[in-house]
A and B are shown apart, each in its own frame.
Chain A
Amino acid sequence: MIYDRPRFAPGGDRIIEFELGDEMSFELNFLVHTLARRIRESRVKGVIELIPEMASIQVSYDPDLISYRDLTEELLTLRASIGDLSSLELASRIYYVPILYFDPWTRECTEDYRAKLAEKEPDPDLLVRMNGLKDRAHLKQVHSGTEYWVAALGFWPGLCSLMPLDPRCRLTAPKYNPPRTWTPKGTIGLGGALTCIYPDQTPGGYQIFARTPMPIWDRLQRLKAFKSSLALFKAGDRVRFVPVDRAEYDEIAARVDDGSYEHQFADYQKFSIRGYQSWLAEIASPQREAAQ
């Protein structure tokens, strides 16, 4: 639910946690990003950094410039200035991410885990079984059948949490126990109700079943997309997965290697809650089968 009155809690001498609700929902996350934008635009005195997350915003501040109490008042005023949620609009880009499902690298990684750490059902089979899907082809169709909302970034530079915008394509999965010690760079994972793209070779706990050759993070800033930022996505962007075959995958990977690859995206467009809600209403049935 979205709280009527947001909750504040301190994180030591220079951080406030600003909690707007307690569930994972698109409306709540949209409110988080709208409010984060307002805090930035209004240049609240003393505010240093924001971390917008699923249902909360972490605000760091300089206590020599503003007190904890005054900052909470400023944040409450900004929250109150956001009226009816359905009238909200947010500028959002959409990135097209080439994806090879059931690729050899994630298979090798899972086999390494099963041999060394713990026996488990192969990740794609687990996803098929737990989500009542027919087979792997069905998993690919459902997973790539929706746009995703970049709900938050964090944990690792560039790592993004993606929420499916089409409720008929919502998939869920438990996380690895214990977590993996390594995950191939560019791996696509699914945990809880979120999809993520691993920006680099990192540990991980999501179920893995696909890989993209398209970098989403580059500390050396070689490709055009990284000239102004090491990380590709910003919260509030959208992602559409575009399935490719192995030959296309290798061709893209080669262009990434020689530095000529250009990321495919549509620049900022207005994304509105009202538009989204009316689209949701148009979907005749909330059953996944209806999308096919």
Chain B
Amino acid sequence: MIGVVTPGLETSVQDLPGRIGYWEQGFPPSGPMDSWSFRLANLLVGNGPEAAALECQFIGPALRFDAATVIAVTGADMKPKLDGQPIESWTTIPVQAGQVLALGSAAAGARAYIAIAGGIDTPPVLGSRSTFHMAGVGGVEGYALKAGQALPVGRGRAVPRRRVRRDRRPEIVARRDWQIEVVRGPNDDWIDEEGHRRFFASDWKLQAKSNRTGLRLTGPEFTFAPRAYEKRPEHGQHPSNILDHGYPLGAINLAGQTPIILVNDAPSTGGFINPYTVPTATFWKLAQSRPGDIYRFIEIDIEAAQTLRRQLDRLCSLDSLEPI
């Protein structure tokens, strides 16, 4: 068991690929936003990449271990300490019974991951341990960690101490600007050419009102193609309105004039257009960016997006670890 001393800010249990098979009933997949850092944390402690681990957001938790085990911390730099002594991130760390791991606030990036040998063993709900706290599903009784809770842990196996090679880690530094890949569609034909040009040529600022559901952006106004005006009344009045349809994860959802990038805990359907979609391999950038950061979008095609995903999957393997 692991005792939660302090919970941090919305620290949650997540697993991969998350809750699959219930999207049509309104359940998003959930799962870790930065699945690159998440998978490597699990590999460092001898777990499969999919095992349940903790996602910390902006401020990490303090945890007390009641038995000896190995852990790893990856992702955002939250200055982890074990019984007050700084420890290295991206490394297998042995801990003794009674020791306390404490994470601080993120010095670079936004989301850190804590994996424990054997994985977190909370009861799966609809096939997944991932927390979807908006509906109180999964995780620990449906919600983010609370002080005083105890987390069950599965049985781990002995692993050598290893670290993630430098060139196999996501580049998480204190930065203000990001290049974010997007694929056009599904509703790019509702935006006019000048609107597309402006979208790709402008800086987009990440608002503080962003979370695991969506990332809100501030930037110039969109302009629309004739299709957005010449439509049946059931689509709605505003040019960004469309007959209710499914929302892809990563969709840049245009609600009025506010683009919201839909991420892991997003609504499954709704009545706004999605002119662009951020591909899977770029999600770690969304996960590690902070309010006030600037996005510039670049267009890639479907094949390039799929190639990026395959390359990332290859990085999330044991080949990326080296002995200490």
Hey, which bits of chain A sit against chain B, CB under 8 A? 9-15, 17, 19, 22-24, 48-58, 60, 63-64, 68, 152-159, 161, 192-193, 200, 219, 229-231, 234-235
Contacts and interface: CB of A to CB of B under 8 A. Distances in A.
Contacts of A219: 125, 135-137, 142
B244 A152 contact: yes
B185 interface: yes
Interface of B: 20-27, 125-126, 135-137, 142, 183-189, 231-232, 234-236, 243-251, 267-270, 274, 277-281, 302, 305-306, 308-310
B281 A192 contact: no
Given A155-B269, A230-B137, A12 B183 contact: yes
Contact of B24 (A13, A64, A235): A235
Given A12-B251, A24-B232, A153-B24, 8 more contacts: A10-B184, A10-B277, A13-B308, A49-B23, A159-B26, A161-B244, A193-B234, A219-B136
A10 B302 contact: yes
A58 B135 contact: no
Contacts of A229: 25
A231 B305 CA distance: 34
Contacts of A49: 20-21, 23-24
B207 to A, nearest CB: 17
B310 A64 contact: yes
A234 B25 CA distance: 7
Which of A10, A49, A52, A159 counts the most B-chain CB atoms under 10 A from its CB? Answer: A10
B20 A13 contact: no
B305 A13 contact: yes
A69 to B, nearest CB: 9
B135 A200 contact: yes
B137 A11 contact: no
Contacts of A64: 310
A193 B235 CA distance: 11
Contacts of B274: 11
Nearest to A193: B234
Nearest to B283: A12
28 contacts: A9-B189, A12-B249, A12-B250, A12-B277, A13-B306, A14-B280, A14-B309, A15-B186, A15-B277, A17-B245, A17-B248, A22-B235, A51-B269, A52-B24, A54-B245, A56-B243, A58-B245, A152-B269, A153-B269, A154-B267, A155-B270, A157-B26, A157-B135, A159-B26, A161-B244, A200-B135, A219-B125, A219-B136
Contacts of B306: 13-14, 63
A70 B277 CA distance: 21
Nearest to A230: B126
Contacts of B246: 15, 17, 51, 53, 56-58, 154
Contact of B232 (A23, A53, A153): A23
A12 B142 CA distance: 29
Contacts of A15: 186, 246, 248-249, 277
A241 B40 CA distance: 52
A96 B22 CA distance: 24
A53 B269 contact: yes
Contacts of A235: 24
Nearest to B246: A58
B243 A55 contact: yes
Given A155-B268, A158-B26, A13 B279 contact: yes
Which of A15, A52, A231 counts the most B-chain CB atoms under 10 A from its CB? Answer: A15
A11 B25 contact: no
A174 B42 CA distance: 49
Nearest 5 interchain pairs by C-beta: A58-B246, A11-B248, A154-B269, A9-B186, A12-B277
A11 B234 contact: no
Contacts of A192: 234, 236
A53 B244 contact: yes
A60 B234 CA distance: 26
A17 B269 contact: no
A200 B132 CA distance: 15
A154 B24 contact: yes
Contacts of A55: 243, 245
Contacts of B185: 9-11, 17
Nearest to A151: B244
Contacts of A159: 26
Nearest to B25: A231
B249 to A, nearest CB: 7
A12 B253 CA distance: 13
A218 B125 CA distance: 12
A61 to B, nearest CB: 11
Contacts of A23: 232, 234, 243
B248 to A, nearest CB: 3
A15 B269 CA distance: 14
Given A48-B20, A49-B20, A13 B309 contact: yes
Contacts of A156: 26, 135, 267
Nearest to B23: A49
A15 B245 CA distance: 13
A9 B142 CA distance: 35
A132 B299 CA distance: 50
